Structure 1
Amino acid sequence: MHDATPLIATIVGGLVLAFVFGAIAHRLRLPVLAGYLLAGVVAGPFTPGYVADAGIAQELADLGVILLMFGVGLHFSLKDLLAVKSISIPGAAGQMGVATGMGMVLGWALGWPLAQGFVFGLALSVASTVVLLRAMEERRLLDSDRGRIAVGWLIVEDLAMVLALVLLPAIGGFLGTGQGGPVPSMSELLTTVGLTIGKVVLFVAVMLVVGKRVIPWTLQAVSASGSRELFRLAVLAIALGVAFGAAHLFDVSFELGAFFAGMMMGESKLSQRAAEETLPLRDAFAVLFFVSIGMLFNPGIVVQHPWIVLAACLIIVVGKSLAAYAIVRAFGRPPKTALTIATSLAQIGEFSFILAGLGVSVGLLSAQARDVLLAAAIVSILINPLLFITLDRWVAKHDADAPDEHPIVKGHTVLVGFGRVGRRVFAELSALGAPILVIETDEDAVRELREGGEADVVIGNAAAGPVLAEANLAAARALIVAVPDPFEGGQVVRAARALRPDLPIIARAHSSDCMGHLSRLGASEVVYGEEELARRMVEVASPAPVATSHH
């Protein structure tokens, strides 16, 4: 038997441990992220037993972030980005400034050099892309106004980090704290800033002028070949190729390059298919991202410096969130939007680690400060899902208390999901004059439904008991689950069946396995898309029955 290479051992060990501890966390009704992080701690160098290759784990995690940002770009247009620039740019800048200032105050209180406090505070100011987008995707908020503001905020933070990572070595030398070498002058420092900004602007211009035409055309040409394998390969090649080229030709981060690649591919009519093709890889590498974070964690720092870790956590979870909330409210946005943005940003992640590592290498950050930063990151990532659960309950209660928001109807059909399939179902039911109540999380879809005035609408996750209670299932005629994700659909079916055992429940599936899964959870009827398509094609192709005369 061949010995496993570090790459294979890291992938296998990371995924197996993540599955084991993720399943345990799920069983204990804890966020699965907690299981993934604990898997990383077990595989890390600070605990006995198996130790994965930290360098390889980090590179695999970087792939996950690239694919994740590419997927976000697919659902994001330049118009969406420009629509939120008025709040995302000053909001992100203001929030980062407040968080950096708080980090510097903490550093001053601890007797750290000013430069160390600045780098430490800057690392506390930037949120994790993976954590934020996962939370948004779970709640289907990416296409909402709240989701667009959050993503725009992330892009601004990303650009700020690109500048910081380029300037940090120069700043270290300018302050005389770098690892030897000539000290740059102020003019050299300003030149470095100008070159960095110029490269970012040039990259964006190239993507808007060339990428906007070449990428959709390439995707269309490959799709015309009829090869699904080649199409999937083209999507991955474009995502990773543009990200790599952006980093090496323009000194732009992998994440920003992948985001723009996705945004340009979003101009193609095949963008939805491209998103579906990258989903499995994105999820797998996102898991490895959390495992890689856990590997960096040294539990000893919590025992050695508990108060410093606590102070850093308070800056991330409380200070940064309050700043974001105040800024969003100052721009006239409703409390729900402000709370969502504040909750989304109450954590730190990948850019913080990169910045901390670079800070240590150029002599601007001590190893102790780096370990405190990593501990605070772990704690904030573990707390963040709990904050979102609290937010979900607040939103559900707030919407339920709104006057005339959700009038109780009877004899209605409850439709969960207003996507492509849900819209068709809605149109058919409306044509029949049937009363409909729609459960949806996307704010734009809810706004569209309310403006049309053709249906009652409940905002929220249909798998939650309070949301289903608002839909008045006790008096409903039927429940149609039109969401595409079989796991999400299964949760809705199970919750509805528990509330009303005799309710007719119709769900959609993409495979025979999904059909069985939904049926076991309580669906009365499961519609399998490919099966229905095949049946209809046979009906059209079959000759009409010939009448025969009997003598």
Structure 2
Amino acid sequence: MDVSIVHSFFLIFAGAAVVASIALYTKQPLILAYIALGVALGPSSLKLVDQPELLEGMSHIGIIFLLFLLGLDMKPSHLFNMLKKASWVAVASSLAFAAVGYLTAKAFQYTEIESIIVGLAMMFSSTIVCIKLLPTTVLHHKHTGELVVGLLLLQDIIAIAVLLGLVAIGGSEQNPEQSAYLHYLLPVIGLPTLIIGAFAMVKYLLLPLITKFDRFHEYIFLLSIGWCLSLATTAEVLGLSAEMGAFVAGVALATSPISQYIATHLKPLRDFFLILFFFSIGASFNLDLLGLVIWPALVLAILSMLIKPTVFRFLLKGLREDRSTSWEVGFRLGQVSEFSLLIAYLAASLGLIGEEASHVIQATAILTFALSTYVVILYYPNPIAISDRLRRD
């Protein structure tokens, strides 16, 4: 391993230990401490860690493991029923949030295409923040948790379609006759292929191997990691996201009696990479543009935290959800998504938006991560709650 990477890891994890201690003493969310550490040590501040792109790529593994562990807690029958029930809510809410983002960006005099991109970025909620704040041993098996997860998965599907659309725009400039068509056709075929192949592999290969060698704990650990990353890589080849592949890998393995053992033993590995993820968000932000983007980002963040819960409360009423459940789901989904960051990065790299508009989206994501985290840890059950009454692992 390169010495600079070792040095970066030392700064990140030694620094994370320090800021985590301060955050716990002052009763602040750990997620925000890691983002703040990234801002402080990153290229636009102290410049002690100058490889945010490399760290961001490594931290992506944390999201993959997070979705894999989530899938291990979801029974296929329950998941299918929830996706079927909530599909129209996901579509209607995404369109409403896109309209809010578009109109706000236009009010701040961004161009038409920049306003559209900002609107698209506002459509989604953060899978990583929402799942990080869900109790893994309780809420996943309750109706509220299933509803949150179902809506997040439907949003992820919409987000993938948006990203594919942006990629198709970029590709069509080089090959206008084929690129857009192929980019959309591949995932349409790829998703059912991935699901069918995953369940077949689990039934005919993984479960027999687990049954035969379940007393060798190291083997089960290696097999589960290999399975997760194999499906994540396969999903990318099929035009989907690695996160979706990891989730399918988890759901396919959820019927195994050893699924909870795997989930428990992978959590430390997941947390290692998630620290890198939140650090990289802060490290990649250019503080020189803060003065230009803070006001539109602040308005978008406040609107997100106010409008998203209200819209979900209204739409979930149509599913006959009770008032408290609807509000809780809405506040848990009140932030924008890591997909919003990907949209910003991709649109900027394609020349569709400028650096300022890209940083508006990034700043909005960071602000909503912070605001949403505070709301959830103060009022709803979660693993990092300040109050012992709300803390649920």
Task: Indicate whether the TM-score tops 0.5.
Answer: yes
| Separation in 2, partners of 1:54, 1:142 | 33
| Separation in 1, partners of 2:167, 2:38 | 30
Report the structure number with the largest CA radius of gyration: 1
User: Structure 1: which 4+ aligned runs deviate by more than 6 Å?
Assistant: none
Higher strand share: 1
Q: Cα distance 1:29–1:77, how it changes in 2: closer, same or farther (>3 A)?
A: same
Q: Deviations over 1:74-114 (max 9, x none)?
A: 01021111121233311211111111111111232233333
Q: Cα distance 1:79–1:205, how it changes in 2: closer, same or farther (>3 A)?
A: same
| Separation in 1, partners of 2:356, 2:25 | 35
Q: Deviations over 1:399-421 (max 9, x none)?
A: xxxxxxxxxxxxxxxxxxxxxxx
1:79 to 77, 80, 85: 77
1:203 lines up with 2:191 in the alignment: no
| Separation in 2, partners of 1:343, 1:203 | 32
Amino acid at match of 2:174: G
| Separation in 2, partners of 1:88, 1:231 | 35
Asked if the contact 2:316/2:326 (under 8 Å) is kept, the reply is yes
1:325 to 302, 313, 322: 313
| Separation in 2, partners of 1:16, 1:461 | 23
Amino acid at match of 1:378: I
Residue in 1 that maps onto 2:340: 352
1:267 to 255, 269, 289: 255
Residue in 1 that maps onto 2:112: 114
| Separation in 1, partners of 2:185, 2:21 | 49
Asked if the contact 2:144/2:325 (under 8 Å) is kept, the reply is yes
Aligned-pair CA distance for 1:348: 2.3
2:388 to 454, 463, 484: 463
Please state whether the residue corresponding to 2:138 is helix, strand or coil.
coil
Q: Cα distance 1:84–1:132, how it changes in 2: closer, same or farther (>3 A)?
A: same
Asked if the contact 1:324/1:338 (under 8 Å) is kept, the reply is yes
Q: Cα distance 1:87–1:13, how it changes in 2: closer, same or farther (>3 A)?
A: farther
Residue in 2 that maps onto 1:171: 169
Over the residues paired in the alignment, what is the CA RMSD in angstroms? 2.6
- Within a 5 Å distance, the mapping from 1:113-512 to structure 2 comes to 113-137=111-135, 140-171=138-169, 181-182=174-175, 184=176, 189=180, 192-223=183-214, 226-248=215-237, 250-392=238-380, 463-464=388-389
| Separation in 2, partners of 1:299, 1:195 | 39
Higher helix share: 2
Asked if the contact 1:298/1:375 (under 8 Å) is kept, the reply is no
Q: Deviations over 1:93-145 (max 9, x none)?
A: 11111111111112322333333222221112212221101111278312211
Aligned-pair CA distance for 1:349: 3.4
Asked if the contact 2:309/2:333 (under 8 Å) is kept, the reply is yes
Q: Cα distance 1:352–1:222, how it changes in 2: closer, same or farther (>3 A)?
A: farther
Aligned-pair CA distance for 1:367: 0.9
1:38 to 26, 36, 39: 36
Higher mean C-alpha displacement, 79-88 vs 208-217: 208-217
Aligned-pair CA distance for 1:15: 1.6
| Separation in 1, partners of 2:376, 2:132 | 11
Higher mean C-alpha displacement, 105-114 vs 76-85: 105-114
Aligned-pair CA distance for 1:188: 6.5
Asked if the contact 1:7/1:56 (under 8 Å) is kept, the reply is no
Asked if the contact 2:38/2:279 (under 8 Å) is kept, the reply is yes
Higher mean C-alpha displacement, 154-163 vs 252-261: 154-163
| Separation in 1, partners of 2:341, 2:377 | 26
Aligned-pair CA distance for 1:276: 1.4
Please state whether the residue corresponding to 1:136 is helix, strand or coil.
coil
| Separation in 2, partners of 1:256, 1:94 | 22
Structure 2: which 5+ residue stretches go unaligned? Answer: none
| Separation in 2, partners of 1:164, 1:200 | 16
| Separation in 1, partners of 2:310, 2:84 | 20
Q: Cα distance 1:461–1:222, how it changes in 2: closer, same or farther (>3 A)?
A: farther
| Separation in 2, partners of 1:390, 1:241 | 38
Identity of aligned residues (%): 23
Q: Cα distance 1:261–1:368, how it changes in 2: closer, same or farther (>3 A)?
A: same
Asked if the contact 1:172/1:364 (under 8 Å) is kept, the reply is no
| Separation in 2, partners of 1:38, 1:306 | 16
Residue in 2 that maps onto 1:19: 17
TM-score normalised to structure 1 length: 0.66
Q: Deviations over 1:51-73 (max 9, x none)?
A: 24112211221110011100000
| Separation in 1, partners of 2:332, 2:204 | 34
Q: Cα distance 1:138–1:245, how it changes in 2: closer, same or farther (>3 A)?
A: closer
| Separation in 1, partners of 2:72, 2:194 | 18
Please state whether the residue corresponding to 1:155 is helix, strand or coil.
helix
Amino acid at match of 1:95: S
Q: Cα distance 1:350–1:6, how it changes in 2: closer, same or farther (>3 A)?
A: farther
Residue in 2 that maps onto 1:406: none
